[in-house]
């Protein structure tokens, strides 16, 4: 009886392994958000890795996680993190940065399991808005295939992408409004200065003699 149970269990394991082996070896997922701001505002939030803490969904999972940075922003900049079981440990390296157009990042997970993926951000102007697409691609080893067989990775990671883009939208649109307000104030101050100058010129012209001569100074 025991032998039959073991043989049956072995058959199930073999069948399961065979099923896992047939799973796709690559994956790709993405999410897009439309932001009421110019491309440079959204681009800066991604291109400067120091700013990820302002909108990244994973920072909120472990506010106490350790972070280290190398470089300021753009190509070559690096960011490493080490946190709790929710965020694990890993690093990001910006491999390519095209101002206000696209950013490609090498994403390396070290814990709880090792994996290397490629992340891309695409910025597409659409009138007075910008469309931001967050995309991730990679390959699955056997364990990755097993995980994807029972978990919907697109739904799980995609949910985090949606949260991150929503936070980015809030920040970028607030910055856009602040810039617009500052520009409005500058325009109003310029208009007021021009009006005052025009009024002063008009007053000076009205005070001048009609024949264009200048008043003679009194003789002592």
pLDDT digit string, tens, across residues 30-53: 999 999 999 999 999 999 999 999
- Please give the pLDDT value at position 170: 96
Which CATH number is 24-177's, of 3.30.530.20, 3.40.109.10, 3.40.50.300, 3.40.50.1100?
3.30.530.20
Q: Identify the band that residue 16 occupies on the pLDDT scale cut at 50, 70 and 90.
A: very low
- Please give the pLDDT value at position 113: 80
Q: Identify the band that residue 213 occupies on the pLDDT scale cut at 50, 70 and 90.
A: low
Half-sphere exposure of 81 (CA within 13 A, CB side): 24
The residues that bridge with 79 in the sheet, in sequence order, are: 69, 92
Length of the chain counted residue by residue: 220
Q: Of the given ranges (66-70, 90-94, 212-216), which has the lowest mean pLDDT? A: 212-216
With beta carbons less than 8 A apart as the criterion, state whether 116 and 92 touch: no
Dihedral of CA atoms 160, 166, 171, 172 in degrees, nearest 10, equals 110
Q: Of the given ranges (1-15, 21-35, 103-117, 167-181), which has the lowest mean pLDDT? A: 1-15
% of the chain surpassing 70 pLDDT: 74
Please give the Cα distance from 56 to 75 (Å, whole number).
19
User: Could you state, in order of their start, the residue ranges of all structural domains in the chain?
Assistant: 24-177
Q: Which two tokens stand for residue 60?
A: 């909120």
Half-sphere exposure of 68 (CA within 13 A, CB side): 6
- Please give the pLDDT value at position 142: 46
User: Shortest CA distance to 17 belongs to which of 146, 177, 199, 161?
Assistant: 146
- Please give the pLDDT value at position 47: 97
Q: Which tens digits make up the pLDDT trace of 159-208?
A: 999 999 999 999 999 999 998 888 889 888 899 998 888 888 888 888 88
User: Shortest CA distance to 121 belongs to which of 51, 52, 43?
Assistant: 43
Average pLDDT of the chain, as a whole number: 83
- Please give the pLDDT value at position 151: 57
């Amino acid at each position: 009886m025991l032998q039959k149970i073991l043989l049956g269990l072995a058959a199930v394991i073999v069948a399961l392994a065979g099923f896992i082996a047939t799973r796709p070896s690559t994956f790709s997922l993405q999410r897009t958000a439309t932001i009421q701001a110019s491309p440079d505002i959204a681009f800066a939030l991604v291109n400067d890795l120091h700013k990820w803490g302002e909108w990244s969904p994973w920072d909120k999972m472990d506010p106490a996680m350790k972070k280290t940075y190398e470089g300021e922003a753009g190509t070559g900049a690096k960011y490493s993190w080490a946190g709790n079981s929710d965020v694990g440990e890993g690093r990001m390296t910006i491999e390519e940065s095209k101002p206000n157009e696209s950013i490609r990042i090498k994403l390396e997970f070290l814990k709880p399991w090792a994996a290397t993926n490629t992340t891309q951000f695409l910025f597409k102007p659409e009138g007075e808005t910008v469309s931001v697409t967050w995309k991730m691609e990679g390959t699955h080893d056997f364990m990755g295939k097993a995980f994807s067989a029972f978990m919907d990775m697109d739904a799980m990671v995609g949910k985090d992408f949606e949260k991150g883009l929503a936070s980015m939208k809030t920040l970028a649109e607030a910055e856009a409004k602040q810039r617009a307000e500052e520009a409005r104030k500058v325009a109003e101050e310029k208009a007021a200065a021009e009006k005052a100058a025009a009024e002063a010129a008009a007053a000076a012209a009205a005070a001048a003699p009609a024949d264009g001569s200048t008043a003679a100074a009194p003789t002592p």
